[in-house]
A and B are shown apart, each in its own frame.
Chain A
């Protein structure tokens, strides 16, 4: 168990509504990530954080925003959910001591936008 808790684990929401997914870690790791997993695309990075209030975009960041006000929490917000954002979202963490440091994943949040 990598000490990562994602909430909610499952959510159904309507198109146009805001949605926030939360990731909480107990490992005090510097780096936190949000990935989405879709069939045929593998895992794609949405946003990541390298410290409190330090975030950067990944390869599929459009329509998403993030915030990290504490080391242990990383929030992913869909400002106005669309059907194309139906996906499984994974939070991940890493100690961040250079490339090659293991990235640990949470158990995922299943989001359906209807």
Chain B
């Protein structure tokens, strides 16, 4: 059973556009929601993370929007660049736990 559902599986965006990746969860015990970025042949690396006490977190061109009532969160990449082409994973962990549950991943391609 997939505790964190991610969509879309793949996404193509033009350079300069906005990339949006969505995730939904069911377990209300989750209290930490990170996004990881993975380049081909590399391990995933933390990009940005949010806790459910805030609705939005922004770091440079990357923004997480969080909707606690809908149990959804999303990653927005503004002014998308070819260097942003990668696979993105959303994840969640529970209060007191030290392990992550991941979404299925989104392969993002930014066309120049």
Contact = CB atoms under 8 A, between A and B. Distances in A.
Size range of the interface on A?
Answer: 20 to 34
Nearest to A92: B43
Interface residues of B, number: 28
B94 A99 contact: yes
A32 B99 CA distance: 10
Contacts of A74: none
A99 B31 contact: yes
A99 B46 contact: no
Contacts of A33: 99
A98 B99 contact: no
Contacts of A104: 45-46
A100 B43 contact: no
Nearest to A50: B98
Interface in A96-114: 96, 98-108
B100 A103 contact: yes
A58 B51 CA distance: 23
8 contacts: A31-B98, A43-B100, A92-B43, A99-B98, A103-B46, A104-B45, A105-B45, A108-B42
Query: Which 5 A-B pairs rank lowest in CB-CB distance, beginning with the nearest?
Result: A105-B43, A42-B102, A100-B32, A43-B102, A42-B104
